[in-house]
Amino acid sequence: MAEEAKNTKKIILSGIQPTGVFTLGNYLGAVKSWKDLQEEYLCYYFIADLHSLTIHIDPAKRRAQTREAFALLLACGIDPEKSLVFVQSHNKCHAEMGWIMDCCSQFGELSRMTQFKDKSAKHPDNINAGLFTYPALMAGDILLYQADYVPVGADQTQHLEFTRDVATRFNHTYGEVFKLPEGYFPKAGARVMSLQDPTSKMSKSDTNPKATISILDDEKTILKKFKSAVTDSEAEVCYREGKDGINNLMTIYAAITHKTMEDITREFAGKGYGDFKTAVGEAVAEELRPIRERFAALMEDRAYLDEEMKKGAERAAKIASKTLTKVKKRVGLLLEK
């Protein structure tokens, strides 16, 4: 790959936590588009394992999930020859930058973050300081790489605004260092809902196994889950208010087949929900099959994964250290000779 400094492409940066296998929602809503972004942008993708520390996970499980998440990105089409792919904790610049950003963040603005309130409600027995300050670490993640764009969903715009506020404050106090990142809003990112409660977003943490499609589910499992998906009693495949279950299935089918809602309505006119559910399940199974096969092959080649993680970490550190050194100088830290 050409040196980043010589590349004229805009930089897109995104991270994903290693808290379990990606769902169909993660894939259609974000990861699927990441593959395409590689052609137009200089893409930096990382496994946000430091962020995962805010939740208690068995250490062996966390290590395994981090390796799996890295392999999953590659299996989904992220090419380490085109994109920078790395594990967050393998680049020490993130932890250092996180602390500096902590000290540039105000208690009041952190306390207003809605995700802190949501996660505190979900984990009332573990409301740790990291859960409170992790937006500062996230800001550091983004600003280290002078990212132009950050892919964001509706529930993440607050974090991007926070990052821009912290960067502006730092630039005003210490002089211009940071580029202000902008949100990247995918053109066709699908918002996938639970198959059992289509008013809620599909989630890895859902306790109902029928509600979520894992991108590593086999074809039989996928078809079974779609057959049990919640719909309604109208038996008409069309997209309209009050048909949350069918709307969700149509959204999924449209995202994979690239058909419009009108196309889908015509395709299944006069047919029952059983036929439609089967068609959606088969389309999803075929879409995910090569990912599942590629992932299995990657997990068998531990040496390759380790080598790619090492190369990614070295490249990430080289890029990030340039920004971190500037930041340290500006805030008055005595640099090592």
The verdict on 35 and 53 lying in the same domain is yes
Q: Which member of 32, 119, 243, 277 is catalytic?
A: 119
Query: How many angstroms separate the CA atoms of 119 and 134, rounded?
Result: 12
In this structure, the answer to whether residues 108 and 217 fall within a common structural domain is no
Query: What sections of 19-87 are H helices per DSSP?
Result: 24-26, 32-40, 59-75
pLDDT for 99-127, tens place per residue? 999 999 999 999 888 877 777 777 788 88
Q: Is the pLDDT of residue 291 over 90?
A: yes
Phi, psi (degrees; rounded to nearest 5) at 183: -75, 140
In this structure, the answer to whether residues 253 and 172 fall within a common structural domain is no
- Say yes or no to pLDDT of 3 above 50: no
Average pLDDT taken over every residue of the chain: 92
Q: Are residue 113 and residue 256 in the same domain, yes or no?
A: no
39 plus 183 within the same structural domain: yes
The verdict on 11 and 48 lying in the same domain is yes
The answer to whether the CB of 105 falls within 8 A of the CB of 135 is: yes
Same structural domain, 229 and 312 = no
Q: Two tokens at 92? A: 């020490």
Locate tokens 């005595």: which residue?
334
Check if 9 is active-site.
Answer: no
User: For residue 138, what is the domain's CATH number?
Assistant: 3.40.50.620
Domains of the chain: total: 2
| Res 72 pLDDT > 50 | yes
* Number of helices and strands in the chain (H, E): 13, 5
122 found inside a domain: yes
- Boundaries of domain holding 270: 209-295
- 327/213 same-domain check: no
Encoded amino acid at 197, one letter: D
> In terms of domains, do 171 and 271 share one?
no
Amino acid present at 209 = P
pTM over 0.75, yes/no? yes
CA distance 145 to 128: 27
Q: Is the pLDDT of residue 210 over 90?
A: yes
Which has more confidence, 8 or 276?
Answer: 276
> Is residue 103 a contact partner of residue 130, using CB atoms and an 8 Å limit?
no
Q: What is the pLDDT of residues 165-206, one digit of tens each?
A: 999 999 999 999 999 999 987 665 578 999 999 999 998 878
Per the listing, tokens 């991007």 go with 160
- Contact predicate 49/89, CB 8 Å: yes
Out of 9, 35, 179, 204, which one is annotated catalytic? 204
Given 9, 82, 179, 201, the catalytic residue: 201
> Do 222 and 169 sit in the same domain of this protein?
no
Does the active-site annotation cover 119? yes
Contacts of 127 (CB under 8 A, 6+ apart): 120
Q: Is residue 237 part of a domain?
A: yes
Domain presence at residue 102: yes
Same domain, 94 and 20: yes
- Active site annotation includes 117: no
What would the pLDDT profile of 82-97 be if each residue is shown by its tens digit? 999 999 999 999 999 9
Residue matched to tokens 């096969």: 293
Q: Strand 182-184's sheet: what is its strand order?
A: 84-87, 42-47, 11-16, 149-151, 182-184
Nearest Cα to Cα of residue 192 among 160, 226, 217? 226
Contacts of 321 (CB under 8 A, 6+ apart): 93
Is 157 found in the same domain as 234?
A: no
Angstrom distance (rounded) from CA 116 to CA 130 = 10
In a domain, 53, yes or no: yes
Distance CA 144, CA 270 (A): 55
Mean pLDDT calculated for residue range 222-236: 95
